[in-house]
Chain A
């Protein structure tokens, strides 16, 4: 059954190499003069990419039942809901809204 997939050695090694390289890139990008919001965006994108690699190959989601991936993605979306809606409050405390 696919749940017992043995992950090839080559995949494990290349995933690790990719992760280390991406870590170096992350640090390198930090020293580049990227304007304010985009430096965070780039850093988060790189981190997400690294997390995806870990999830797919180390945690075996790539070979696993798809429902487990659904669970993971869902938890991430749920977190976004928490942040997103809370920001609707905290970022607009003093703005108020004009009456339509």
Chain B
């Protein structure tokens, strides 16, 4: 399918007129995809807002079960990973092949730290009987809809966590291709697109953090 049309740029697909058209098309496509991500999470945010508006006291009580410190640390970890992937793109733009790999590995590392912290948070709750929905057995919160709060919590952070895992997978693939020298200032579209994806994952967490952990 990748019938190269032009000799000087083997990455140019035959149906594009030039590399700029191809790059800006990919970018617009990616932004539209991020748009769908926002609406996808948006549904959960709507559920959150409506249940919070209905039961403000429930959210105050339930949030005490979440560890603000861990949430804050994870926020900073994700911000750091956003920086490192931006630096990976910069390394590609400036033809520093080795640094692309290094920055990507660093991003993967930070993403893993995030997941490890999340893992401890989850298991701690499971130990107390805070399971999603019908399996909820915790009796420390005196509210009939405590289960619903934690359903929303698990859906939102779970979907977000799933995105982190997918992001790690994408970055591993990028590392493999960066190692064989696929990316350079001539062509680094996948790194750029993965970066955009990763930043939106970060942005969603930036909103989740105060909405989940900081309720008084």
Task: Write the residues of chain A forming the contact surface with B, with a CB cutoff of 8 angstroms.
Answer: 1, 3-4, 6-7, 9, 12-13, 15-16, 19-20, 23, 26-27, 30, 36, 39, 43-44, 46-47, 50-51, 54-55, 58-59, 64-65, 67-68, 71-72, 74-76, 78-79, 82-83, 86-87, 90-91
0/1 interface trace, chain B 163-180, chain A, CB 8 Å (1 if under):
000000000000000000
Nearest to A19 among chain B residues (CB) is B79
A60 to chain B, nearest CB (A): 8
A65 and B31 alpha carbons, distance in the complex (Å): 11
**B interface, CB within 8 angstroms of A:** 20, 23-24, 27-28, 31-32, 34-35, 38-39, 42-43, 45-46, 49-50, 53-54, 56, 68, 72, 75-76, 79-80, 82-83, 86-87, 90, 93-94, 195-196, 199-200, 202-203, 206-207, 209-211, 214, 216
A3 touching B42 by the CB < 8 A rule? no
Query: Does more than half of chain B's interface fall in helix, strand or loop, or is it mixed?
Result: helix
Q: How far is the CA of A96 from the CA of B209 in the complex (A)?
A: 36
Contact among A3, A74, A90 with B24 in the assembled complex (CB-CB below 8 Å): A3
Interchain CB contact under 8 A, B82 and A43:
no
Q: List the A side residues contacting B80 at CB < 8 Å.
A: 16
Q: How many angstroms from the CA of A46 to the CA of B206 in the assembled complex? A: 9
Across-interface contacts of B50 in A (CB, < 8 A): 86-87, 90
CB–CB A58/B53 < 8 A: no
B196 neighbours in A (Cβ, 8 Å): 59
Q: Which 10 A-B pairs have the closest CB atoms?
A: A43-B210, A30-B214, A75-B35, A79-B42, A16-B83, A75-B38, A19-B79, A51-B203, A68-B31, A6-B93
**Secondary structure at chain A's binding surface: helix, strand, loop or mixed?**
helix
Give the CA-CA distance A64 to B31 in the complex, in Å.
12
Task: Give bound CA distance, A90 to B206, whole Å.
Answer: 26
